[in-house]
Structure 1
Amino acid sequence: MPSWLPSIPYSPAGEGYWSPVTSTLNWCEEDYYATVYAAEIVNTLTNLLFQFLAFKGIFNCLRHGHDTIFLVTFVGYFLVGTGSFLFHATLKYPMQLVDELSMIYTTCLMFYATFSHKKSRKTSLIIAFSLIGLAVFITAYYHYLQDPVFHQNMYALLTAIVLFRSIYIMEVNMRPTLRRRREVHKAIEGRQGSTGEQERCDDRDARILRNMWIMVTFGLSIFLGGFGIWTLDNVYCSTLRRWRREIGLPWGVLLEGHGWWHLMTGLGAYFYITWGIWLRHCLDGEQDLYELRWPSSFTSLPIILRAGGGEARLNGSVVQRVEAEAEQRPRQRNGALKASLDKKEL
């Protein structure tokens, strides 16, 4: 490494407080080179991002009144980060199960949120018990096999199903629904001779769908980028370990691929859950009650909040007024249309 760049030599890898290793996986980061209390210090500390984003999501759900299923999902997201923290700190098999199975369970929560929306109580219960049965099967079979490839394949499959189902809902269900709404609204407004509200709704819906796709693309790119770095970390582990020791600390930390996987998948998962919250509100026809707050793609994180921001949560009369106006507009239009038709008949 350049002589002008200060560095600290790596200590030899060895035994630590949690030795011996009992997990079926041991990552490319060397064990106990920085402290005896954490087997993989970088892989351990990068999970703090999961916990920070989980608290951020839980706070936003409570403050802005998002559906309970997303609150529970963020709790599961917190458990994923906590389980991964404990797993990489100890490299113990029970902590490995906490880490990996919490990923499956949290994905099952998003699966339920995606597939049960606007379904009958009976159908929702069938979906819920089916997912519970699936989670129990994956848990038991994975514990029997103790093969990480099985877990990775099941996690990837569930994640892909939920992602493509959400995109399907957004494009095939939500977009035609909004279009039909606009067509009916246009016919009513046309008879009244007013197009201002129609233009506003058109602009709003086009902006929402465009921003949704930006969020999906951004989050998915981060997630897949993290997966790519993790793959390189596995394939070129011996080379990366040699490079780390050559450049020393703290610069060698930048070559910890699994740590980058934690950071990037944590962000990608947060983007996906936030998108799910926004999609749910739009499917419920609440586009005027909730809005996306995302000032910058690279320096801030997106959140979904009530129109007017946090004040709307504190001032219930504001929310009630907006909801009442949203409910009243269709009644007024329908009443005006009926009066107009009655007049023509007379």
Structure 2
Amino acid sequence: MRSTISILHILVHAIFWYVVIDARTIVDSHSQPSDVKYFESNLDTNIGYWSPSTSSIDWCERNYVVTEYIAEFWNCISSFSMCILGTILFIRGLYNNVETRFLLSSLGFVLVGLGSAYFHGTLTHLGQMADELPMVYSMIIWGFILYRMNEFKQIKTKLFATDILVVFGIFYGLLWTYVHTLQTFVLVFQIHFTLMVLVALIKLIHLYRQPYHHVYRIKYLLIIHLVLLISAFVCWIIDQQLCEQMNNISQFNPQLHAWWHVFGAFHCHLGIVCGEAMRLLSIKHRQHQIKIFRSPQQSFKPDDHLHIVYYLGLPYIDYSKEKQTNKTKD
């Protein structure tokens, strides 16, 4: 255990210091980026508080229209929808004493929202990194949750396999941080993140197909989860492909990239709730398997172990009966 911790300590510090040292030259190399992705033939030359822009991409929304202190007003404001939903999940998770993995996922959700708001509000290279890097970190945490959904053994009893997954996730995140911070990929990042989302979605659907996860309420949430993802993706594509028409012809830009943030926020919220639901059913199924050896065999009915409540139309896992059961056992 000590050797593993030492390896992680050395790995984190080595890569971290490389990033810190190279970050000193990043400011100069990105102060006047020559290869910036725009979505209009005429470049947006509006000047504001954060000018000049140092990011490698400038979205469809016209800059500094609402206020001189926010580059892309609606894209910035809509990003806080992720912060709000993520904070609610985190607070409920603390109150219900959920596993740390879901608390980290909720915190990652919040960081993505804050980074997105910072990026769209400033259009700086640092803001772009604050937006795109937490997106990758959050997907790494989400991947760990999905691929450890049915794992119950403690780290001490299964040290090697667990540590390999954790070390790989940390190493991958730091490596991507190092490379992406220096190069600021646009297309590569978009393809990379899309693949991560698709792999996670396929894994989530595969987990639902397991008998002890096969609950109609989860199926309902998964359908909405998928619909929201498709809606967000459509908004994201149209905002880029029809940007010039919406800005010049319609006289009213519907700000579809802002809607991408909102749909994406609810999509992530439902994803985390589905993850919590499946994890709870996995734990209950495991407990049921242990009880089979002590009492007459009974079939496992997942519907009896999952309770979902709704607040303002948003679903949450109801842990009240679970907490009452734990108190009775104590």
Scaled by the length of structure 1, the TM-score of the pair is: 0.71
Given that 2:133 and 2:177 are in contact with CA atoms closer than 8 Å, whether structure 1 keeps it comes out as yes
Aligned counterpart for 1:216 among listed residues 219, 222, 228: 222
Aligned counterpart for 2:63 among listed residues 25, 31, 34: 31
Equivalences for residues 292-303 of structure 1 within 5 A:
292-294=308-310, 300-303=313-316
Instruction: For 2:305 and 2:79, locate their aligned partners in 1 and report how far apart those are by CA, in whole Å.
Output: 34
Report the alpha carbon displacement of residue 143 of structure 1 after superposing the two structures with TM.
2.7
Aligned partner of residue 277 in structure 1, secondary structure: helix
Report the alpha carbon displacement of residue 242 of structure 1 after superposing the two structures with TM.
1.6
Instruction: For 2:276 and 2:178, locate their aligned partners in 1 and report how far apart those are by CA, in whole Å.
Output: 31
Q: What's 2:307 paired with?
A: 291
Matched, 1:132 2:132: no
Instruction: For 1:278 and 1:243, locate their aligned partners in 2 and report how far apart those are by CA, in whole Å.
Output: 46
Q: What's 2:319 paired with?
A: 306
Instruction: For 1:133 and 1:18, locate their aligned partners in 2 and report how far apart those are by CA, in whole Å.
Output: 33
**Identity of paired residues, percent?**
23
Given that 1:60 and 1:305 are in contact with CA atoms closer than 8 Å, whether structure 2 keeps it comes out as no
Q: What's 1:272 paired with?
A: 271
Q: What's 2:36 paired with?
A: none
Given that 1:215 and 1:271 are in contact with CA atoms closer than 8 Å, whether structure 2 keeps it comes out as yes
CA RMSD, Structure 1 to Structure 2 (Å): 2.1
Aligned partner of residue 284 in structure 1, secondary structure: helix
Report the alpha carbon displacement of residue 161 of structure 1 after superposing the two structures with TM.
1.7
Q: What's 2:259 paired with?
A: 260
Tell me whether 95-104 or 110-119 shows the greater mean CA deviation: 110-119
The runs of 5 or more residues in structure 2 that have no matched partner are 1-43, 286-301
The runs of 5 or more residues in structure 1 that have no matched partner are 1-11, 179-204, 325-346
Aligned partner of residue 294 in structure 1, secondary structure: strand
Matched, 1:170 2:208: yes
Tell me whether 20-29 or 234-243 shows the greater mean CA deviation: 234-243
Instruction: For 1:236 and 1:262, locate their aligned partners in 2 and report how far apart those are by CA, in whole Å.
Output: 18
Instruction: For 2:98 and 2:258, locate their aligned partners in 1 and report how far apart those are by CA, in whole Å.
Output: 31
Instruction: For 1:47 and 1:227, locate their aligned partners in 2 and report how far apart those are by CA, in whole Å.
Output: 16
Report the alpha carbon displacement of residue 243 of structure 1 after superposing the two structures with TM.
4.1
Instruction: For 2:178 and 2:87, locate their aligned partners in 1 and report how far apart those are by CA, in whole Å.
Output: 30
Given that 1:223 and 1:267 are in contact with CA atoms closer than 8 Å, whether structure 2 keeps it comes out as no
Paired letter, 2:248: R
Matched, 1:86 2:118: yes
Q: Deviations over 1:129-178 (max 9, x none)?
A: 11112112222222343221111111111222222122222214xx1xx4
Aligned partner of residue 34 in structure 1, secondary structure: coil
Equivalences for residues 23-62 of structure 1 within 5 A:
23-62=55-94
Aligned partner of residue 284 in structure 2, secondary structure: coil
Instruction: For 1:40 and 1:130, locate their aligned partners in 2 and report how far apart those are by CA, in whole Å.
Output: 36
Instruction: For 1:125 and 1:222, locate their aligned partners in 2 and report how far apart those are by CA, in whole Å.
Output: 34
Aligned partner of residue 19 in structure 1, secondary structure: coil
